[in-house]
A and B are shown apart, each in its own frame.
Chain A
């Protein structure tokens, strides 16, 4: 197995893309600590992870920095190390630019950008010991400047920026920092599809591969690649897992 005995943290790991990553990693032998606010889904996903390895579940608000530090030390006391950090959680609201307020930015940066930063900082000493891997999340919203996404796009590009800085600073420590920019058919998107059939079909028509990605098979397995030794010489990069939608410049 490609992640045998590794210890991974997946934020937002209870559902959607995070769940897909948690399962893909557990199937390759990793112990997965799931961090989420949704207890019901968290318990379900933990049970699924436990069929393959040992998981941990934290129902915690990651916009509180102290929570992050506590979780990291609890994970280390349970598993003895951290090999992989996946910063996937991110909440935001779609609002036209002129209606966007500070509260929207606070939500997006508070749940996406700052937790990514604090988790990276808190995990650094452990990642240094394991020559570990950080996987952060970018978005077509930021790369393309999608409408109504001001607060989300800004936070996502900010995450990309600090990921590159960390890749450079932590390269000599043997830590790899990369990003995935996904499109995936999550339960949230399924719900949207079922209520906006035409808009959904139009969106799919714009994707060269003519489908949305699968959280586990497509996004999860790409995360496994980035978490594995196969990606040891790759750092500071963004992998587009979006069916060919965005060609990075």
Chain B
């Protein structure tokens, strides 16, 4: 039996980068996957694969969430898994960060997952079962990166724990994954910080950057029934960087 046989899973930011890897892995493991993304070209591409349905979602829009969840429920009958993966980053120096930058980051990376949890919980409560996996960042665990990105990922960490405590008795599990630096289109573009990436690898016990599948594998575990007794937990997938 496949590890996500008969499950219906929504992955935000599911059409590119780590989310895309998760979408393919989940579908290989038997899930019906809804890759929810704001990038329409990427959505069109990923929808060509069997059992992956691209659907438009702006995670910061309450209306979009309501519409998406209603449609998934109507078409597929249930919602077993929500992965709050969509997010943005910024390289803007801290001296230049203003209220607009802050609000944009916190809205997409913080309010987005909040809305996802807020609106999926009623569906999962009705089923008496559900698994939510939030993608935070190792920067939310250690003192690194004084910027809106770390703040937004810290908000994801706090929300995960609170939701786990609050909805555990309803059978809903909420866990978080904390990636280190992962080789994705987002990090590959960080040319300006290439030297920094090399330093990070040297300082990482496992001596390499993470790959999207490292994160996808951890998310798969937390989304599956193998982790039925795990909630409020934090899986740090950073090659041991933050354990030092």
Give the complex CA separation of A237 and B236 in angstroms.
7
Cβ 8 A contact of B233, one of A170, A219, A239: A239
B69 lies within 8 A of chain A by Cβ: no
Check A171 against B236 for contact (C-beta < 8 Å): no
Q: Chain B residues near A174: list those with CB within 8 A.
A: 206
B210 lies within 8 A of chain A by Cβ: yes
A96 lies within 8 A of chain B by Cβ: no
Check B206 against A233 for contact (C-beta < 8 Å): yes
Given the interface pairs A237-B235, A242-B229, the reply to whether A208 lies near B165 with Cβ below 8 Å is yes
Interface string of B120-162 (1 = CB under 8 A from A): 0000000000000000000000000000000000000000010
Task: For B221, give the chain A residue with the smallest CB separation.
Answer: A225
Q: A222-B226, A235-B205 are in contact. List 14 more A-B contacts (CB 8 A).
A: A171-B206, A171-B239, A172-B205, A209-B231, A210-B169, A217-B228, A218-B228, A221-B227, A225-B227, A236-B205, A239-B233, A239-B235, A243-B229, A244-B168
Task: For A230, give the chain B residue with the smallest CB separation.
Answer: B217
Task: For B164, give the chain A residue with the smallest CB separation.
Answer: A244
A50 lies within 8 A of chain B by Cβ: no
Cβ 8 A contact of B205, one of A167, A211, A241: A167
Check B237 against A233 for contact (C-beta < 8 Å): yes
Cβ 8 A contact of A209, one of B168, B221, B237: B168
B234 lies within 8 A of chain A by Cβ: yes
B42 lies within 8 A of chain A by Cβ: no
B244 lies within 8 A of chain A by Cβ: yes
Cβ 8 A contact of A210, one of B168, B210, B239, B243: B168
Cβ 8 A contact of A241, one of B206, B230, B238, B240: B230
Given the interface pairs A222-B226, A225-B221, A230-B217, the reply to whether A240 lies near B233 with Cβ below 8 Å is yes
Check A235 against B243 for contact (C-beta < 8 Å): yes
Cβ 8 A contact of B244, one of A222, A225, A232, A236: A236
Q: Chain B residues near A209: list those with CB within 8 A.
A: 168-169, 171, 173, 229, 231
Check B244 against A168 for contact (C-beta < 8 Å): yes
* Interface residue ranges of B182-224 to A (CB < 8 Å): 204-208, 210-211, 214, 217-218, 220-221
B17 lies within 8 A of chain A by Cβ: no
B232 lies within 8 A of chain A by Cβ: yes
Q: Chain A residues near B226: list those with CB within 8 A.
A: 221-222, 224-225
Interface string of A17-33 (1 = CB under 8 A from B): 00000000000000000
- The distance from the CB of A218 to the nearest CB of chain B, in whole angstroms, is 4
Cβ 8 A contact of A247, one of B161, B208, B221: B161
Task: For B168, give the chain A residue with the smallest CB separation.
Answer: A208
Check A164 against B243 for contact (C-beta < 8 Å): yes
Number of interface residues of A (CB under 8 A): 40
Q: Chain A residues near B231: list those with CB within 8 A.
A: 208-209, 243-244
Give the complex CA separation of A45 and B168 in angstroms.
33
Q: Chain A residues near B229: list those with CB within 8 A.
A: 183, 209, 211, 213-214, 218-219, 241-243
Give the complex CA separation of A247 and B208 in angstroms.
28
Check A234 against B228 for contact (C-beta < 8 Å): no
- The distance from the CB of B29 to the nearest CB of chain A, in whole angstroms, is 11
Check B217 against A240 for contact (C-beta < 8 Å): no
Cβ 8 A contact of B232, one of A164, A232, A237, A244: A244
Q: 8 closest A-B pairs (Cβ-Cβ)?
A: A171-B205, A236-B243, A208-B168, A233-B214, A230-B217, A218-B229, A244-B231, A213-B229
Check B211 against A233 for contact (C-beta < 8 Å): yes
A102 lies within 8 A of chain B by Cβ: no
Given the interface pairs A241-B230, A244-B231, the reply to whether A230 lies near B240 with Cβ below 8 Å is no
Given the interface pairs A168-B205, A210-B168, the reply to whether A240 lies near B232 with Cβ below 8 Å is yes
